[in-house]
Amino acid sequence: MTNTDYLIIGGSAAGLAAGITARQYYPDSSITLIRKEENVVIPCGIPYIFGTLDSPDQNLIPDAPLHNNDIDLVIDKVEDIDKEEKCVKTSSGEVFSYNKLIIATGSSPLEIPIPGVDLENVFTVEKDLDHLNKMLDAVEEATDVVVIGGGFMGLEFADECNKQDDTNVTVVERLPNVLQLACDEVISDKVEAKLMEHGVNVLTNTEVKEINGDESVESVSIGSGDVLDADVVIMGIGVKPSVDLARSAGLKTSGKHGIWVDDFMRTSDEHVFAAGDCAGKRGYPSGEARAVRLASVATTEARVAATNLGGIRQRMEYPIGIFSTKFGDLAVGAAGQTEKDARKLGIDILTTEASACDRHPGKLPECTELGVKLIFAKDTGLIIGGQAYGGSSIGEMINFIGALIQHKMRADEIFTFQMGTHPLLTASPVAYQLTSAAQKAAAELSNSRR
């Protein structure tokens, strides 16, 4: 038996962040990380191996941070957790005892029960090098690729596969708009238009009825009765939490929502924590169960869990959910509640929009339109959501909007915040998008209360 103070199961973003954090807070403790993969794929980078990167080997998480932080790495699969004895058993027969344990087993692809999903060249998105290399080979040989799912990953796959020469790409989404679970129409419409401008065929309000072929996929039948040619089908419909190990150990779990955790990332066993896609989430602002499975959320949860290994020090805030992506020269982002979701929760809201050039004056080179939509609760003036579109600076703009939401800023506080502007870097201080949109909201809220 190998003894370790802190044991981590899982080597992707959450596991790595947990190990590094544990070493920073507990420099004299022994830390062991067990993962089943020899090489760990960067999940968010997977779509880019089909166009921007040359191969899956260029999309790997390095092991250097583990070695540099004196974290023992074990390549093996954990088969069993014994809570009473505080130990785990691996497939090779090894036994590791722990003082505290962090489960970071991640997620696995969702599958939809339609005929033909088991045909050759129908792919779910596995975080496995051999699987991804097989996908890449198939896409490079394909004439027609059908992507099922119009969320972030599905659209990123479509945009990247479209970069292959002489390849026709179609996205099939059953909801009225792409990105509908994270964005309102102001973003969805722009993304759909940009993808179609690039030659991607986008079908919304469309359901896949059957994937056709003898041994390998040949076509896809959709609800309208049309049949789409397809050499490759990619299932980009999301993921489910990997909870089997935790469930078999007797921890409280939900197959849909993940491993139950409290505000400090503790499971139903006080000596066991969970973080990342496998852990349950409570959405902002209502605290209802919500599937916010992002690497940014996973690493935050992992840092909180690792900080609390030696005693409770840090609380995990409700995940806001901050998304961003880019298609060609169009970047988009979303944070917090969408307008439609806020209304579903019964929140009386006010929305405002503002757009301006992201340089000033507008004649400067590389100037592009940058727009924001902000969502406020009418009764308090608090910002509860926001979306943005424009160039590459959107990545940090939506992070900033997320920070405003997390710190419960009101409209009148946002439009008076201290900003820094520069002609080559930002919009004019007179037309700065966040302050303009917030000022509109603050004025309307003030006038409505007179």
Distance CA 206, CA 198 (A): 21
> Do residues 161 and 131 both lie within one domain?
yes
**In this structure, is the dihedral angle defined by the CA atoms of residues 109, 59, 157 and 145, taken in order, positive or negative?**
negative
- Dump pLDDT digits (tens) for 327-343: 999 999 999 999 999 99
Contact 22/30 with Cβ under 8 angstroms?
no
> Do residues 26 and 70 both lie within one domain?
yes
Average pLDDT over residues 244-273: 94
Percent of the chain that is helix, strand, coil (3-state, to 5): 25, 30, 45
Residue 315 belongs to some domain of the structure: no
Report whether pLDDT(229) > 70: yes
CATH of the domain at 132: 3.50.50.60
> Do residues 193 and 249 both lie within one domain?
no
Contact 47/58 with Cβ under 8 angstroms?
no
> Do residues 344 and 410 both lie within one domain?
yes
> Do residues 354 and 403 both lie within one domain?
yes
Interhelix angle 185-197/152-161, rounded to 10 degrees, is: 20
Tokens found for residue 180: 């509908």
Residue 317 belongs to some domain of the structure: no
Domain end marker among 237, 255, 285: 237
Displacement of CA 158 from its chain's centroid (Å): 17
HSE at residue 181, side-chain half, CA atoms within 13 A, is: 16
Q: What pLDDT band is residue 282 in, cutting at 50, 70 and 90?
A: confident
Q: How many CB atoms lie within 10 A of CB 210?
A: 14
Residue 285 belongs to some domain of the structure: yes
The set of residues, in sequence order, having a beta carbon less than 8 Å from that of 216 and lying 6+ positions away, is 119, 120, 121, 231
HSE at residue 158, side-chain half, CA atoms within 13 A, is: 34
Tokens found for residue 399: 């992070």
> Do residues 349 and 297 both lie within one domain?
no
Distance CA 101, CA 87 (A): 9
Residue 321 belongs to some domain of the structure: no
> Do residues 245 and 104 both lie within one domain?
yes
- Dump pLDDT digits (tens) for 372-389: 999 999 999 999 999 999
> Do residues 103 and 245 both lie within one domain?
yes
Give me the chain's average pLDDT, please: 94
Percent pLDDT > 90 in the chain is 89
Domain end marker among 203, 237, 271: 237
Residue 353 belongs to some domain of the structure: yes
Round the CA-based radius of gyration of the chain to a whole number and report it. Answer: 23
Average pLDDT over residues 421-444: 94
Domain end marker among 237, 272, 288: 237
CATH of the domain at 378: 3.30.390.30
Distance CA 358, CA 427 (A): 4
Report whether pLDDT(289) > 90: no
> Do residues 91 and 115 both lie within one domain?
no
- How many domains does the chain contain in total? 3
The set of residues, in sequence order, having a beta carbon less than 8 Å from that of 2 and lying 6+ positions away, is 32, 94, 95, 96, 97
Contact 401/386 with Cβ under 8 angstroms?
yes
> Do residues 215 and 361 both lie within one domain?
no
- Dump pLDDT digits (tens) for 142-173: 999 999 999 999 999 999 999 988 999 999 99
Residue 312 belongs to some domain of the structure: no
Q: Collapsing DSSP states into helix, strand and coil, what is residue 261? A: coil
Residue 322 belongs to some domain of the structure: no
Q: Which domain holds residue 157?
A: 111-237
Q: What pLDDT band is residue 450 in, cutting at 50, 70 and 90?
A: low
Residue 436 belongs to some domain of the structure: yes
Distance CA 107, CA 323 (A): 18
> Do residues 229 and 117 both lie within one domain?
yes
> Do residues 138 and 101 both lie within one domain?
no
